[in-house]
Amino acid sequence: MDLLNTLVDKGLRRETPTRAEALAVLATTDDELLDVVAAAGKVRRHWFGRRVKLNYLVNLKSGLCPEDCSYCSQRLGSKADILKYTWLKPDEASRAAAAGLAGGAKRVCLVASGRGPTDRDVDRVSDTIKAIKEQNEDVEVCACLGLLSDGQAERLREAGADAYNHNLNTSESTYGEITTTHTYADRVDTVRKAHAAGLSACSGLIAGMGETDEDLVDVVFSLRELDPDSVPVNFLIPFEGTPLAKEWNLTPQRCLRILAMVRFVCPDVEVRIAGGREVHLRTMQPLALHLANSIFLGDYLTSEGQAGKADLEMIADAGFEVEGAGEVTLPEHRTGGGCGSHAGGGACGSHDGGEAGCGAHEGGGRGSHQGGGVCGSAPAAAPAPAASADEPRPGLVAVRRRGAGTDLAPNA
Instruction: Convert the pLDDT of each residue in 115-160 to its tens digit.
Output: 999 999 999 999 999 999 999 888 999 999 999 999 999 999 999 9
Task: Give residue 46's pLDDT.
Answer: 98
Q: What's the predicted TM-score (pTM) here?
A: 0.88
CATH assignment at residue 69:
3.20.20.70
CA distance 125 to 360: 19
The single-letter DSSP state of residue 156 is: H
Better pLDDT: 62 or 262 = 262
Question: What is the end-to-end Cα distance of the chain in Å, rounded?
Answer: 41
Q: Which three-class secondary structure state does DSSP give residue 271?
A: strand
Q: Where are the alpha helices (DSSP H) in 80-199?
A: 90-102, 119-135, 152-158, 184-196
Q: Which residues are catalytic?
A: 65, 69, 72, 109, 142, 202, 272
The residue segments making up the domain with residue 232 are: 2-396
Residue 407: inside a domain:
no
Give me the number of domains the chain comprises.
1
Q: Residue 228 above 90 pLDDT? A: yes
Q: Residue 345 above 70 pLDDT? A: no
Residue 411: inside a domain:
no
Q: Where are the alpha helices (DSSP H) in 289-343?
A: 308-317, 332-335
Residue 25: inside a domain:
yes
Residue 404: inside a domain:
no
Task: Give residue 389's pLDDT.
Answer: 57
Task: Give residue 197's pLDDT.
Answer: 98
Q: How far is CA 220 from CA 61, 214, 261, in A?
A: 29, 10, 9
